[in-house]
Every structure is written in C-alpha cells, then in structure tokens.
Amino acid sequence: MNKSLFSALVSACCITFSPLAISASTPLAIAIHGGAGTIEKSRFTPEQEKAYRSKLKEAVETGYKVLEQGGESLDAVTAAINVLENSPYFNAGRGAVYTYDGGHELDASIMDGRDRQAGAVAGVKHIENPINLARLVMEESVHVMLSGQGAEEFAKEQGIPLVENNLFDTDNRYKALLKAKEKLDKAKATSKDYQAAHQALPVNYKMGTVGAVALDKNGNLAAGTSTGGMTAKRFGRIGDAPVIGAGTFAENASCAVSATGHGEYFIRYNVAADICARVKYQSKTITQAGDEVINSVLKPIGGTGGVIIVDSKGNISLPFNTSGMYRASKSNTQATYVAIFKDE
C-alpha cells in the first residue's frame, strides 16, 4: 500500500474514534439542590442572593467537571455535595440546623445506579462530610445504613477523623432554634400533645437538605443526599435523606433522584423510588413522573418539598411544590442553570 495513503487512513481512523468524538455524542448531566421551602425573593438582600447563587454554581460545576474529565457519576455526586456540605448556607454539614437539645445530628445516603448498591449514615454528630462516610459504608462495609456511635466507630476504622460537634454551629441556625422552641412552648401551653405542638411549627423548620444526581460517560447514574435534619428535632429523629427509596434512589434502568422536603411524607410515600418506578414500569418521562409524585401525590396531603431527577439519556427535571428550591444543573447539551425562586 502507498505510504501516504496508509497515513491518511490512520489519520481518518484516529479522528473517527477519538475520545473527543465519542464524548460529543455521549450524554453527561448533573443536577443539585440545596433545599426547598418558603424561599421568597423579598427575604434576600442582593448580596445574599448573589452568594447563594454563586455557591450553587460552584457545586454544580465542580460535579460537572468530574464528569467532563471522564470521572464516574458517584465521584461527581460526592464532589458536588461536599461543596454544599462545606458551606454554612445550606442545611447539611457546616450549615446543619440544631436539635432541640442544642446539638447537631447529620444524615446522608448515596446510591449507585449500576447495581443498586447503597450506603447511608444517620444521626452522626462528629463527621464533617457525612456523604463521604455514606459512600464508605456502601463500598467498604456489608451494610447499607449505620447510625450514631456505630457509624462513627466505622468512620474511625476507615481513617475519617472525628470533629467537634460545635464545628457545625452557626448564628442564624441557632436563632432559628430559639424561635422554634419559643413556638413549641407556646403550642404546648394549649396542648400537652408533642405531635400537635410540632405540627404547629412553620414548614421551613421541618425541611432543608442538599443533594446531587448525575449521569456519567458510561451511562451510569448515581444519587446522593445529605442533611442536618429538622430544626428542634428530638428523640433521635431520622428523616428521609438517609432512607434509600425515600430521599435517595438511583437505577440505570430508570433514573436518579435526590429529594428535599418534609421528610416524614417522603418516607411514607417512598418518593424517590416511586418516581423511578413510574419511569421504569409506566414508561413515563422523568418530567411526568416527578410532577405526578410531587404535585399530585404529596401536595394534596400536605407533603411539601421537591426533587432533582436525571435519567439515562441525560434529561433533567427539577419539580417542587414550594415557593422556591435552591437548584442548579448542567449537561453537555445545557449550559449551567442556577435558580432559587419558583418563577425562574
């Protein structure tokens, strides 16, 4: 064969099968949330709004960079959530709310869409980044969920240092605790029923979470969620964030979901798994499935909150039934999107 012709053929092959050409047609996507609730523009100064948007942008782009460089969806989810856990703006990690007794108890979970492996931690008090420990539970233990002291003993075995609980102290969260306890005390003055008193609290005291869902170049989905729980929670309360199927779910055959909202409702209605089941068994789009569960199932019975969803084709949906949800997304076909309020 003519040498120049051989060189031309080699060059053509290289162009056709280069990683760049493959990646251009391979969907990559990530979405994140920083909690939903009564989030109204009038409550923000321009500086505060800018700071929240900046942190959401940083988180989603940190996760997307992992995907863009060929990393796995699990790595992208973990990286994005770490950014949010390390910020005092969101109810997870450093921004965790206070329990009734004035401490912090954190929950997190993560799930791999390839094989439905999952890991979760609940009620940990001395873990700086709970999502990292949840991932270690998935990858290095024979269990799915570890709680409290046992989870922290496992953390030490895995080389994760324990931190002082006051690392998570913030002034605004402490003020929220004082207001919540004042409202609880007033409610208890007319009723000795703890349940009734707690239900009297405004919804924003009952929700707040961060999460991420992602699709990588290999078509693998992953989801993760991390939270400080509910303001003034008692008795070791655990919400939906560490519960696989309720606050977190991922399966390559359907979708990946991370939830934020009033956790008791999300547990009772198995929200994350229900959305993916509607996609898998009823052939619904993630937009249809998400809207049905958030607005037709939860909303009528008082279940407030939202979810972020990514499917195996890289489609993204961010439904919620509150006045706002901190959210952001990015894909290889969509520029970085950051939003807070309902009308964005």
- Which residues are catalytically annotated? 209
Tokens 């989801």, located at residue: 223
Nearest CA among 272, 324, 268, 264 for reference residue 294: 272
Note the helical H segments in 248-336: 263-268, 271-282, 286-291
> Alpha-carbon distance 206 to 312, whole Å?
32
> Alpha-carbon distance 171 to 159, whole Å?
31
Q: Are 64 and 75 in contact (CB under 8 A)?
A: no
Phi, psi of 21 (to 5 degrees): -65, -40
Q: Are 232 and 245 in contact (CB under 8 A)?
A: no
46's tokens? 């321009």
Phi, psi of 256 (to 5 degrees): -125, 135
262: how many CB neighbours lie within 10 A of its CB? 22
Q: Are 91 and 219 in contact (CB under 8 A)?
A: no
